[in-house]
Amino acid sequence: MTTIHTEGESNTSEARRRWEVAHTGAMSGALLQRDSDAFLHQSLSTPCVGTIRRAEGIWIEDLDGRRYMDFHGNSVHHVGWGHPRVVQAIKDQMDVLPFSPRRFTNETAVDLAEKLGALAPGDLSKVLFTTGGSDANEVALRIARAATGRFKTLSFWDAFHGAGFGASSVGGEATFRSHIAGPLLPGAEHVAPFACYRCPYGHAGPESCNLACAGMIDFVLGREGDIAAVIAEPMRAVPYVPPAGFWQAVREACDRHGALLIMDEIPTGLGKTGAFFAFEHDGIVPDIVTLGKALGGGILPIAACIARRDLDICGDFAIGHYTHEKNPVTAAAALATIAVIEEEGLVERSARLGAGAMDRLAAFAETCPIVGDVRGRGLMFGVEIVEDRASKAPGNAAAERIYYRCMAAGLSFKISQGSVLTLSPPLTIAEDDLDRALGIVEAAISEELASR
């Protein structure tokens, strides 16, 4: 079960060893060994520490019958696992047209492109599909180079934009960069990310923010003079919310220096943050936006690059050329997913449930000295565990123990940045289940505090 891991966690940590002894049944243990023998090992996914045989709604179940509420889902399960409307749309499409070579068009793919163009604000209306978010970002970077005649990019350290070579270059996570021998993509410049709680510019928090982080982007754009695009997540999925006015300042800087603004909405789009696109919270429109992950309804892989109409300038060469560029089955899954989100009011529901969850966790944090911060938007929120509030030293070991206590109680999520309990449930979650999950988190944190 690939959701049962923590970012940066040691595969031989004591907490993990205790978990494996107590919770790995015979059937799961056998499959885990086969998995370890068959797959190339890599950080964050193999070797696994659990199995999965069934997923439905918010629930995942392992081979030994243990069930977990899935508050991670690799950010693909906005409409829950196996939503019947998405499943039926896939079956219906497979009966009519299971595949379409990209040199031919089909109505389902065109319908999806038109729908995304209609949903996107401003003049974002020209679309290209890929099979994954990393590739969608590669397409966006190619468009930016062609449109500006420049090759440099500006992005954030610690950002994630995919595992491809170009995407790893503009990304800032060491896990995807440090193992590569030789240089990455040339011209990939980075600046410190917005992070109000741990502001790298010395500010104590949003109340004292002078948008130095946005000012640094303006400075680098002016100093370099030849940057094609700024690429960034509108809200970092770790999670971190930008300070007020940040994206307006970046938008103005991009316009001033002739750089395009690319918003990577792959984990945050489709209503996760309480707006269909996360950048809508900040009152800006990018030049290019990428979507993925949840677009396939938690079943099929599909991503999209949506660009301004006047950026459709690459007709004489290939910028994607993907085999499944106009796959009608994946397009059908995406259309059904969007219909579910719209017709069930899931964007508004995410905003409402997320606000309630944040209020509850913030109230709990006031009574708990090892909670340093509660942050997020919509149904993407996190609880930062610290050694103590005065030093704000990250509580990595404590966060890992809390994580496994939650797992034992039937709640799966991930840990970001070593110490942030990152909670991202489906937008379809029942309020009672959300309340129960928050209770599990609070109880696990309280138990950790009591053990000191």
| Domain CATH for 329 | 3.40.640.10
Which residue did the predictor score with more confidence, 426 or 198? 426
Q: How far apart are alpha carbons 8 and 10 in whole angstroms?
A: 6
Please report whether residue 195 resides in a domain.
Answer: yes
If residue 260 lies in a helix (H) or strand (E), which one and from where to where? strand 260-264
Please report whether residue 7 resides in a domain.
Answer: no
pLDDT of residue 11: 47
Please report whether residue 3 resides in a domain.
Answer: no
pLDDT of residue 208: 76
135 and 213, same structural domain? yes
pLDDT of residue 405: 96
The answer to whether 381 and 239 have CB atoms below 8 angstroms apart is yes
DSSP bridge pairs for 422:
382, 414
384 and 264, same structural domain? no
If residue 170 lies in a helix (H) or strand (E), which one and from where to where? helix 165-170
Q: How far apart are alpha carbons 82 and 405 in whole angstroms?
A: 27
Domain limits at 27? Answer: 14-81+346-450
Please report whether residue 1 resides in a domain.
Answer: no
Among candidate residues 158, 245, 237, the one with its CA nearest the CA of residue 209: 245
Among candidate residues 138, 165, 104, the one with its CA nearest the CA of residue 304: 138
182 and 203, same structural domain? yes
pLDDT of residue 13: 81
200 and 314, same structural domain? yes
116 and 73, same structural domain? no
333 and 235, same structural domain? yes
The answer to whether 358 and 378 have CB atoms below 8 angstroms apart is no
Among candidate residues 352, 361, 333, the one with its CA nearest the CA of residue 442: 361
412 and 339, same structural domain? no
57 and 20, same structural domain? yes
Please report whether residue 197 resides in a domain.
Answer: yes
pLDDT of residue 203: 78
167 and 248, same structural domain? yes
Which of 286, 310, 343 is the C-terminal boundary of a domain?
343
330 and 353, same structural domain? no
Q: How far apart are alpha carbons 298 and 327 in whole angstroms?
A: 16
36 CB neighbour count, 10 Å cutoff:
12
Which residue did the predictor score with more confidence, 345 or 195? 345
Q: pTM value? A: 0.94
Q: Is 68 helix (H, G, I), strand (E, B) or coil?
A: strand
| Domain CATH for 35 | 3.90.1150.10
Which of 308, 343, 378 is the C-terminal boundary of a domain?
343
Among 32-41, 77-86, 257-266, the least confident range:
32-41
Among candidate residues 414, 425, 441, the one with its CA nearest the CA of residue 70: 425
The answer to whether 210 and 203 have CB atoms below 8 angstroms apart is yes
Q: What is the DSSP letter of 228?
A: E
Per-residue pLDDT for 255 more than 90?
A: yes
Where residue 9 falls among pLDDT bands split at 50, 70, 90?
very low
Q: Is 270 helix (H, G, I), strand (E, B) or coil?
A: coil
pLDDT of residue 206: 72
Rounded to a whole number of angstroms, the CA Rg of the chain reads 22
Rounded to 5 degrees, φ, ψ at 143 are -60, -45
pLDDT of residue 6: 41
> Number of structural domains, the chain?
2
The answer to whether 163 and 150 have CB atoms below 8 angstroms apart is no
Rounded to 5 degrees, φ, ψ at 260 are -85, 155
126 and 56, same structural domain? no
Which of 343, 378, 412 is the C-terminal boundary of a domain?
343
The answer to whether 423 and 74 have CB atoms below 8 angstroms apart is no
Where residue 181 falls among pLDDT bands split at 50, 70, 90?
low
pLDDT of residue 180: 67
Among 111-115, 119-123, 211-215, 228-232, the least confident range:
211-215
Please report whether residue 5 resides in a domain.
Answer: no
415 and 288, same structural domain? no
pLDDT of residue 4: 38
Please report whether residue 4 resides in a domain.
Answer: no
Q: Tell me: the pLDDT tens digits for 385-435? A: 999 988 889 999 999 999 999 999 999 999 999 999 999 999 999 999 999
Amino acid at residue number 244: A
Where residue 2 falls among pLDDT bands split at 50, 70, 90?
very low
